[in-house]
Amino acid sequence: MSDERYTSPGNGGDGQVARISRNEAGQLTVWLRGKDDPVIDARVIRCFPWSTPDSYLSIHNADGKEAAMLKSLDDLDGASREVVEEELRDKVFNPKILRILDFKEEFSITSVTAETDRGKVTFQIRNRDDVRVLTASRALFRDVDGNTYELADIALLDRRARRHLEKYF
């Protein structure tokens, strides 16, 4: 336990998660209430609904089995929450679309080139099934490789991009 950077306990949603930190090897370490040994090299996975990204986070062990469910990031103490947010930001590729630079359509596949908070990307969407509308103005695009790109507000895009994307809303 001496290799742990301690974080003060939170209430962990349904009470399972006591604290989350990183060990000296940089592995995500989750302390569960009532357990003597922590889950080392844990993974945090977002569950649905996508419209509430800070809720329902599944904690998996190194073997990929669920060890706990965290109902909300708000249920964690500040230090644990910081560790989880960093993990999700660094390990989950889910760029936020800031601006659409170009569209190309060929054989019913739309290639979208966009400026995101992670840099410039080009991704392909096949049809409406690749777009998950979360609200009247917010959507997630899933590309042919399974990556997701979040559009927070279609109203913030230029007119040309809005016209092109309106068919998906």
**pLDDT for res 11:** 38
pLDDT of amino acid 9: 37
Decide if 152 contacts 138 (C-beta within 8 A).
yes
Q: Is the pLDDT of residue 98 over 90?
A: yes
| Band of pLDDT at residue 12, cut at 50, 70 and 90 | very low
Q: What is the pLDDT of residue 71?
A: 92
Confidence of residue 5 (pLDDT cuts 50, 70, 90): very low
Q: Compute the average pLDDT of residues 56-65.
A: 92
For residues 132 and 9, the model is more confident at 132
- pLDDT attached to residue 15: 62
Mean pLDDT of the chain: 86
The pLDDT-based confidence of 166 (bands split at 50, 70, 90) is confident
Which of 47-51, 78-82, 99-103, 112-116 is predicted least confidently? Answer: 47-51
- Cα–Cα distance for residue pair 133/88, rounded to 1 Å: 22
Least confident of 46-50, 55-59, 115-119: 46-50
Tell me the per-residue pLDDT of 121-155, one tens digit each, with 9 for 90 and over.
Answer: 999 998 888 998 888 899 999 888 778 899 999 99
- Extents of the domains making up the chain: 12-91, 97-168
pLDDT digits (tens, 9 = 90+) for 14-39: 568 999 999 999 999 999 999 999 99
pLDDT over 50 (residue 83) = yes
pLDDT score of 19: 96
Domain 97-168 sits in CATH at: 2.40.50
